[in-house]
Structure 1
Amino acid sequence: MPKRLVLTACLAWTTAATLLAQTKPAAGSQPTPPAVVTSLKAHAAQYFADLNQRQREIYFAPSDGRAIALLSTAITEFGARKKGLVAEAEELKKLPVNMKMPVRLNLQSPTWAKDQQALLTSASAAKMKTRRQQNPALEAAFRRFDAAQLATLPAPLIPAD
């Protein structure tokens, strides 16, 4: 029984090593950028979807205190995520010139703009405007949120050649 276990483990390791050797890029070749670009686009899309969801939570918050807390955490959380996206895009800028051609991004998708516009024209947004006028702390939190410019990313993150 132990010999069979050792033989199985050895066979599995050999198979894994063979597969790894087959999938490694050849020496001197670069990984294909479409996967990297797709990854950045996916991260940006997720960022905007999450930001839209957070803004929805803020606008539909049952109390001003809850809205202020959500705004504060959004500034911290999404500020860090925005920095991460920009850093990821900076890595793409380091690709060789011949690989930059497919790396032109416009991360502000029409879906994001539609969702954002729908939220800003909702009844909750109109109520939030009144709530902001009545509560200076809520107004200050919204000013900090707007100053953080979380809803904008450098677009395109990769400039055209």
Structure 2
Amino acid sequence: ALADLQAGVTRATRLAEQLLALARSEPDGLAATDAVDLRSLLQDCVVTYAPLAEDRGVDLGIEASEAATVIGDPEALRVMFNNLVDNATKYTPRGGRVDVSLHVEQGHPVVRIADSGPGIEPAERERVFDRFYRAGAGENRVRTDVAGSGLGLAIVRRIATQHHATVSLDKSPAGGLQVTVRF
């Protein structure tokens, strides 16, 4: 009973954090205009999720050979990348991998988070950005052991838009999902 109570508190805390992040990313919110070192920020995100990845038996790594800076809100960008790394780590099965990469393409930073998880069907890839929508709802859900509110990707898209970035979903080279954020 205590374990169930603790799990419920953890889920409620995560939901409250997600709702706060969504509220902070509302269009009328004030956006910070700091220079943000994406390589350092992504390395911090990977370090933060390394213990979860290790517990789940997932190989989490980063390739950020190029330095890249964007102007924006460093905390909002941290929320966005944490959501993406969190999702990839949670949905990737034991023995899988999550690769985070940063490159500069045609003068613009591009972040990719690719996993070897179940991916998202092409028909659902746009819909997963809707608030409270979760891919593979009901009996079709590939992973039923992952709790969530369906807010993470809505927050990701909102923060990306505020930073004049785009988010796209594709099949990853490892067979799962690849999320690409282009600034």
TM value normalised by structure 1? 0.32
More strand by share: 2
Structure having greater relative contact order (Cα 8 Å, sep ≥ 6) = 1
Q: Which has the higher helix share?
A: 1
TM-score, with length taken from structure 2: 0.29
Please identify the structure whose Cα radius of gyration is greater.
1
